[in-house]
Amino acid sequence: MNQTASTATPLIRLEGLSKVFHTDEMETHALSGITLDIASGEFVAITGPSGCGKSTLLSILGLLEPSSAGRYLLEGHDVGNLGLRRGAQVRNGQIGFIFQAFNLIADLSVEENVALPLTYRDGVDANNRRQRVREVLELVGMSHRGRHYPGQLSGGQQQRVAVARALVNDPSILLADEPTGNLDSRNGEAVMQLLEQLNDNGTTICMVTHDQAFARRAGRTVLMLDGRIVDEDTFERMRHEDDMPQLEVVS
């Protein structure tokens, strides 16, 4: 990694990012003016009530969705309007995504699932691919299950395989949307420890979680309310004023 570049330029910079969904005759302001920097090597937790825009924010960070306004710089490059093809290339090369529901492909073995992102990449031959798959499965403690299918694994094991798949292309950042949300506390703890271990070894992580105990273990917690990032005092005050925060909906 280039130390000079990583201290001068945040890995991720969002400036006034907004997202409006248009459905029927309704506009939903899912994100309103999000400004956020994530430095290389950070572990950031994003938390806030249901519907406040956490998954929308993560989808935009993962280039799975375009924003409606504002700027998104990834390693100093504007990736806000890349188009589908170039966006997919950047996503595949620089971003690893972990979903709450694991999203492994049932008909592919563990090894095949993990290898999938490599097959979209030029210049990786079969030997390199096998080697890299072995490395990341080792890293998440799942080498012994390479020939199994997702349905033969526990939830915690499936999520560790999903983490291996997200890591296989050596991304700049790992994005995780409720990675422990479908797991019991023991498996959730194991996945959290895995993320902590990856972060200790230099992986930048941005994780959405409802779990306050997990959020506190991240290096920094970002609180969201109604599509905005708020500080702790504002968060507490607004939550007391309005127990079930509503989104701004304009018809």
Residue with Cβ nearer ligand ATP (4 or 22): 22
Q: Supply the minimum distance, in Å, between the C-beta of residue 250 and Mg ion.
A: 22
| Residue 181, binding choice from ligand ATP, Mg ion, none, Cβ under 5 to 8 Å by partner class | none
Nearest-approach distance from CB 112 to ligand ATP, in angstroms? 29
Site residues (CB under 6 A) for ligand ATP?
Answer: 21, 23, 28, 30, 50-56, 247
State how far the Cα of 139 lies from the Cα of 39, in Å rounded to an integer.
24
Decide which of ligand ATP, Mg ion, none touches 88; Cβ closer than 5 to 8 Å per partner kind: none
9 or 47: whose CB is closer to Mg ion?
Answer: 47
* Structural contact between residues 72 and 233, judged by C-beta atoms closer than 8 angstroms: no
Closest separation between CB of residue 14 and Mg ion, Å? 18
Q: Residue 55, interface with Mg ion (CB under 5 A)?
A: yes
Min separation Cβ 21 and ligand ATP, Å: 3
How far is it, in rounded angstroms, from Cα 124 to Cα 49? Answer: 42
The residue type of 209 is: T
Cβ(218)–Cβ(200) below 8 Å: no
Using the contact rule CB under 5 A, the part of the chain among 52-60, 61-69, 85-93, 225-233 near Mg ion is 52-60
Q: Specify the residue, 55 or 172, whose C-beta has the smaller distance to Mg ion.
A: 55
Q: Which residue is nearest to Mg ion (CB)?
A: 55
User: 11 or 61: whose CB is closer to ligand ATP?
Assistant: 61
CB of 155 to ligand ATP, least distance (A): 18
d(CA 46, CA 38): 12
- Rounded-to-10 torsion of CA 188, 191, 193, 194: 180
Q: Which residue ranges make up the site for Mg ion (CB under 5 A)?
A: 55
